[in-house]
């Protein structure tokens, strides 16, 4: 990471799912570049911990509760975030969940709705609320969704999750079109494999040890030549792409989805 970059001084950046994994990495990176960070999460303990870490490093951050599957919770979040740190300049829709039943033949309707309620409806509602906040305050801001390599290609064991992430990529493009005339850019980052709590359900389903799923998949992808950069992704890799898209260096980029996956999707 370029240590001296300070691209977001005075900007209000709001991130959902900031209490863990990739969202935590994104929150730290924006804070280190001078942003005022609203870290929102349904997990109060995780969210508060990340905010405390940022403050301990001299950054500015606040934790606010949100359950993105509930529209009133999103509206409440955006209102409270604005009251503390002012209009939103950058919004990162990162909160996401994976399924406990991965087979398309077995997944229940309730589980399908749960995945879509967070990954698609929740992400869309959050992005739209932030877009409205930017428009109301004449902010030519940036919105970034977190999709997935699995939303760009097909793979076993990813029934509702994969299609939910394809939906994220497509609504990102729709929102980019809707907000373009206001000077608001909307893009997506599609991570590859990053070892986080996201994989606890699949590890449970496959009766695997905690933190063993990602190394197992990575090993398979390396040995089959599918992974061109032979290592796991990190939250820092994702944060670098997200901050680039939010920065002035990306002023001519909108309606795009950038894979940050070590080249994994070249053959998936």
Ligand X SMILES: NC(=O)c1ccc[n+]([C@@H]2O[C@H](COP(=O)([O-])OP(=O)(O)OC[C@H]3O[C@@H](n4cnc5c(N)ncnc54)[C@H](O)[C@@H]3O)[C@@H](O)[C@H]2O)c1
- 198 belongs to the binding site for ligand X (CB under 6 A): yes
- 66 belongs to the binding site for ligand X (CB under 6 A): yes
- 23 belongs to the binding site for ligand X (CB under 6 A): yes
Q: Which is nearer to ligand X, 184 or 193 (CB)?
A: 193
- 75 belongs to the binding site for ligand X (CB under 6 A): no
The mark string for 24-43 relative to ligand X (x by CB under 6 A, - otherwise) is -----------------xxx
The residue written with tokens 């390599």 in the block is 149
Asked about 161 being catalytic, the answer comes back as yes
The mark string for 89-128 relative to ligand X (x by CB under 6 A, - otherwise) is -----xxxx--------------------x---x------
Query: To the nearest whole angstrom, how small is the minimum distance from the Cβ of residue 79 to ligand X?
Result: 16
Q: Which is nearer to ligand X, 204 or 251 (CB)?
A: 204
Which residue among 8, 12, 14, 20 contacts ligand X (CB under 6 A)? 20
CB-CB contact of 123 with 66 (8 Å)? no
Q: Within positions 117 to 176, which residues make up the interface with ligand X, using CB under 6 A?
A: 118, 122, 146, 148
Which positions touch ligand X (CB under 6 A)? 16-17, 19-23, 41-43, 46, 66-69, 94-97, 118, 122, 146, 148, 191, 193-194, 196-198
Catalytic residues: 161
């Amino acid at each position: 990471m370029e240590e001296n970059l300070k691209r977001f001084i005075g900007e209000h950046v709001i991130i959902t799912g900031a209490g863990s994994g990739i969202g935590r990495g994104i929150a730290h990176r924006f804070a280190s570049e001078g942003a005022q960070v609203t870290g929102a999460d349904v997990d109060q303990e995780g969210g508060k911990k990340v905010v405390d870490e940022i403050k301990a490093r001299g950054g500015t951050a606040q934790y606010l509760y949100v359950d993105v599957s509930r529209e009133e919770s999103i509206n409440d979040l955006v209102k409270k975030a604005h009251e503390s740190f002012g209009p939103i300049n950058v919004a990162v829709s990162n909160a996401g969940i994976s399924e406990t039943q991965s087979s398309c033949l077995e997944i229940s309707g309730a589980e399908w709705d749960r995945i879509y309620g967070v990954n698609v409806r929740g992400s869309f509602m959050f992005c739209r609320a932030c877009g409205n906040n930017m428009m109301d305050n004449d902010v030519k801001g940036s919105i970034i969704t977190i999709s997935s390599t699995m939303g760009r290609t097909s793979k076993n064991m990813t029934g509702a999750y994969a299609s939910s992430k394809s939906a994220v990529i497509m609504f990102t493009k729709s929102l980019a079109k809707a907000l373009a005339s206001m000077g608001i850019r909307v893009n997506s980052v599609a991570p590859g494999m990053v070892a986080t709590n996201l994989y606890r359900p699949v590890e449970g389903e496959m009766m695997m040890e905690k933190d063993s799923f990602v190394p197992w998949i990575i090993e398979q992808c390396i040995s089959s030549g599918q992974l061109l950069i032979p290592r796991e992704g990190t939250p820092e890799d994702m944060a670098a792409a997200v901050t680039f898209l939010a920065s002035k260096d990306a002023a001519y980029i909108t309606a795009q989805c950038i894979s940050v996956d070590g080249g994994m999707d070249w053959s998936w």
